[in-house]
Amino acid sequence: MAETSEAVFQQPVPPAAAAYKLAPLFQHKDPPVEKYAPYKPNLDWVKQPELWLDDWELYRADDVQEGKDRLSSLPAEILLMIISHLTPGSLVAVSRTSRFLRSLTCTKRAEPVWTAARQRRGWPDLEAGGLNEVESAKLVEGEFCCLCGEAERCEKGDDCDCSDSVRRDFRVRTVLCSDCAANLKPSESISAEYWYLHPLTFECCLSTHTNSDGSRIMRKENHLYFVPQVLKQSAALYDAEADAAGQDKLLSFGSEVYTIKRRAFLDAVKLDAYFLKANAVTLRCDDEEEEERMKKLRVEKRLDDKFSSLGLGPADFADIGKTKSWCMACIEEDYDADMKRWEDEQRAKGISEEEEEAEAWEEEDENTRWERTFAEMLAAWHGDCIPAPCHLTETSPFEGDHRELWFHEDWPHYRGAIIEYARRNQHKARWQAAQDARRRRKEEMETLFVGLRTSCREEHLGFFVALSTFLDFPEVKALWFPDNGVGILSRIAKSDRLATIQLFDRIARSLLNDGQRLGDFASFVLDGEPSPFVDSDRSKGLAPYHSALSDDDMNPVFDRLASLFRCGVCSAKLTFPAIAIHLVDEHGLTNVAAYAHVPIPSFRKAIKKLLERRLLPADISPARFKAYHGGAHFHVTMRTKTGNLEMSLNETWAQVLSGKSLAERHAAWHKLDYTSTDRDIAKIELSYACV
C-alpha cells in the first residue's frame, strides 16, 4: 500500500497559510421567512366532487376471490401447527374441505388439537359423555346439519342478525337445518305415527322445551322429541327386554334397569345443556364485539392508506372534533353579510360615511375601494378558516377520531373539508418546525458569541460587537437563518456514517486476516459484501448488508487494542474515534477515511504476540490494557531500511504508538526525504523492570 505522505506531501509546507473561508454551501442566503406562511385552500374537491365519490368507496370484507390450494403441499407438521390455532367450528369446516385435510384432522393424532380448541373457546367437558371431541365440536359450533350434512344459509342474506344458520339445541344434542328440524315433534304426534313404540320410550328420550321460533313450551306434554332418537330408544328398550328374557327374567326387569340408567344420563345432559347455552351466549357477544372491532380496524386501515397516499398522517388530524375553523361562507363564497358587518364596525370606530366617500373620490374609485375593504375583511376574519358544508358549521359537527367519521351518513359531503383541515395542520406544523429549527440554530450562535466574548481581553471588551451585530454578519447569518441548516447537518451526519462504516470494514477485514474472531453479524456482512459500497463505488451508496450495521455491531470491533489505525500524516496509532479527532485537530483534515489506514502487518503481529505473552485476550480494550500496563515501559525492536534490527529501550506505551513530530517531519522535508513516517516495528516486549 502506498503511503499517504508520499502522495500528499510533494513539497514543503508554505510559510503562510491562506485565509480561512466558509464553504459556499454555508454562504448561501435564503430569502426571509414571513411571520406566518400564507396558506391557500385547495378547493378542487368542491368544484369536482366526482373526484371523491368513487375513489373513496371501501371494499366489502366478503369480496374475497378464490385462491389456489397451497395447504396440501405443506408438511403435515406445519399444517397441524396452523390448524392448532383454529376454533372448533373452523376445524369442522376444514375437515370437510378435502379428503386430505379430513384424514389429517379426524385422527387420533389430531385429538389434542380438538381438545385445545374447545378449551380455548370455554366449552366445558360434557358430564354426560357419549360424544368424542369431533362430535362435540359439531354440536357446539358446527354449521352442518347432523342428519343431511348440509349447511343452511339464512334467506335474509348478509343483512340478517341471526347468530346461527341452523337450529342448535343442546338439550337434544342436535344441529338441524330447517327441513330436518321437522323431525322435532311432540310425543302424541310421534306415538300416532309409530304405534309400535315401547311404553317407556319417552321416559328415556331427550326432549326440548323450545320451539323453532325460540319461544318456550310451557306444558311438559308438548315438549319436542327428536324422532330418530325416539326410535333408537324404543329399540334399545326392546333389546333390553330380550336380554332379560334370555336370562330367564321378567321382561319388565330389563326395561326398568335400562330406564334407571337412562334417567341419570338425561339429568347429566340437562346440566351440560345449561352450561353450554351460557357459554354460547357469552361467545356470541364476544364474537359480535370482535367482528365489530375488526370491521372498524379494516375501515381505519383503509382510510389510513388513503390518507397516507395523500401525504397525511394521524397527527395532521389532531383535535379535528374541537376545531372552530369550519366556514360555510368560504365554500359558498357568500361574504355579503360579513362585508356589511365589517363596514358597520369600521364606521363604529369613528370613520364617518361622508369622510369615506370623500377619500374614495379623491384616491380611488368605488370598485377599488370595495376590493381593498374586501381584502381587509378576508385577512381579518377568514384568514384561518376552512371551507366546509353546513354539516360542519354547527356548534358541534362531530366528535371523535377522524377515522370514525366514515360511519357517519354524511361522510361523502364533508370528507374533502376534513382533508383540507389536515393539509392546513400539516402546513402549520412544517412552518413551526422550520421556526423552531431556526431558533435552535440561533441559540447555538449566541452560545458561540458568549464564548468569543469571554475569550476576549478585558481592555478590548469595549470595542467588541453587540450580539445583534454578530448575528447579522453575512457569514454568521448564513449558518442560522436559512432553512437549509437542517439539510447541512443531515449531510454531515450521512458523511460521518459513511466514513465510520468504511473504517469498520477496513479494520474488521484486517482483524479477520490476523485470525481474530468478530461478531456473527459482522462476519456475515464481511462474507456477503466485498466492499462497503455498491460495486465498490462510493457514489452508489452503502451496500445492503453494510447499511444494516448498527453501532452495537461496530463498537465491539472498534473498542479493541488491536483495532488501531495509523495516521497517514504522522503515523500515530489510535483507535476510532480518536483517530478522527486527531486528524481534524492536529492536521486539519476532515476526510478521515482517506488518512486513517490499517498499520503494517509486522506491527499488527507484534501487538498480537505481546497480548499472547501477557496472557491477555485478543479483544481486550485499550482502557483495560492501560489499567494493566499503563505505567509500564516497553522494549521496541525495529527493522531499519537496510533490513537490520535495532532496539529502543524503555518506551512508554504512548511513545510506542506515537508518530513523528512536526519538527521531525519538517526536517525530513527540508532534506527532501519523503519516505514513510512510520516505524517498522517487529517486536514489542514488556521491560523486565516492570515484570
**pLDDT (tens digit per residue) in 201-255:** 888 898 888 776 666 776 766 788 888 888 988 898 888 888 888 888 888 888 8
Q: Examine the pLDDT at 484 and tell me if it is beyond 80.
A: no
- E strand spans, 221-337: 224-226, 326-327
- pLDDT (0 to 100) of residue 359: 52
DSSP state of 48: -
Residue 605 sits at the vertex; the CA angle it makes with 601 and 608, to the nearest 5 degrees, is 140
Average pLDDT over residues 560-564: 83
Same domain assignment for residues 544 and 564:
no
Same domain assignment for residues 689 and 648:
yes
Specify if 638 maps to a domain. yes
Same domain assignment for residues 374 and 488:
no
Count of beta carbons in the 10 Å neighbourhood of residue 504: 23
Q: Examine the pLDDT at 544 and tell me if it is beyond 60.
A: yes
Give the whole-angstrom CA distance, residue 360 versus residue 283. 78
Contacts of 381 (CB under 8 A, 6+ apart): 338, 342
Q: Please write the tens of the pLDDT for every residue from 121-149.
A: 888 888 888 888 888 888 888 888 888 87
Specify if 178 maps to a domain. no
Same domain assignment for residues 587 and 641:
yes
Which run of H or of E encompasses 184? Answer: strand 184-186
- Domains of the chain: total: 3
Most confident of 78-87, 332-341, 365-374, 488-497: 78-87
Distances from the Cα of 89 to the Cα of 67, 167, 174, 283, 290, angstroms: 22, 15, 15, 12, 16
- pLDDT (0 to 100) of residue 65: 52
Specify if 303 maps to a domain. no
Q: How high is the mean pLDDT of the chain? A: 73
Comparing CA positions, the residue from 64, 62, 79 lying closest to residue 158 is 62
- pLDDT (0 to 100) of residue 97: 82
Same domain assignment for residues 322 and 376:
yes
- pLDDT (0 to 100) of residue 589: 78
Contacts of 263 (CB under 8 A, 6+ apart): 203, 204
Strand partners, 326: 386
Average pLDDT over residues 458-464: 70
- pLDDT (0 to 100) of residue 83: 84
Same domain assignment for residues 321 and 415:
yes
Judging by DSSP bridges, how do beta strands 224-226 and 386-387 pair with one another? unpaired
Average pLDDT over residues 573-599: 82
Average pLDDT over residues 295-310: 71
- pLDDT (0 to 100) of residue 524: 82
Per cent of the chain over pLDDT 70 is 69
Q: Examine the pLDDT at 548 and tell me if it is beyond 70.
A: yes
- What 3-state DSSP class applies to 450? helix
Q: Please write the tens of the pLDDT for every residue from 640-685.
A: 777 788 787 888 887 888 777 666 666 666 555 556 667 778 788 8
Q: Is the CB of residue 681 less than 8 Å from the CB of residue 602?
A: yes
Amino acid at 638: M
Specify if 377 maps to a domain. yes
Q: Examine the pLDDT at 300 and tell me if it is beyond 60.
A: yes
Count of beta carbons in the 10 Å neighbourhood of residue 178: 14
Judging by DSSP bridges, how do beta strands 565-567 and 645-652 pair with one another? unpaired
Instruction: Please tell me the pTM assigned to this model.
Output: 0.41
- pLDDT (0 to 100) of residue 157: 44
- pLDDT (0 to 100) of residue 550: 79
Same domain assignment for residues 573 and 526:
no
Specify if 134 maps to a domain. no
- pLDDT (0 to 100) of residue 44: 55
Q: Examine the pLDDT at 603 and tell me if it is beyond 80.
A: yes
- pLDDT (0 to 100) of residue 421: 72
- pLDDT (0 to 100) of residue 389: 52
Residues of the domain holding 382: 314-437
Same domain assignment for residues 511 and 430:
no
Average pLDDT over residues 95-116: 85
Average pLDDT over residues 433-445: 82
Centroid of chain to Cα 549: 20
Same domain assignment for residues 496 and 520:
yes
Same domain assignment for residues 566 and 539:
no
Average pLDDT over residues 107-127: 86
- pLDDT (0 to 100) of residue 8: 39
- Give the cell for residue 124: 366445558
φ, ψ of residue 401 to 5 degrees: the values are -75, 155
Q: Please write the tens of the pLDDT for every residue from 167-181.
A: 888 888 888 888 888
Average pLDDT over residues 355-379: 66
Average pLDDT over residues 627-634: 78
Give the whole-angstrom CA distance, residue 212 versus residue 188. 18
Q: Examine the pLDDT at 566 and tell me if it is beyond 80.
A: yes
Q: Please write the tens of the pLDDT for every residue from 10-24.
A: 444 444 444 444 444
Specify if 514 maps to a domain. yes
Specify if 3 maps to a domain. no
Among the candidates 549, 576, 597, a domain finishes at 549
Give the whole-angstrom CA distance, residue 239 versus residue 565. 98
- pLDDT (0 to 100) of residue 15: 46
Q: Cell numbers 522494549 correspond to what residue?
A: 635
- pLDDT (0 to 100) of residue 62: 44
Centroid of chain to Cα 363: 63
Specify if 478 maps to a domain. no
Same domain assignment for residues 513 and 385:
no
Same domain assignment for residues 566 and 654:
yes
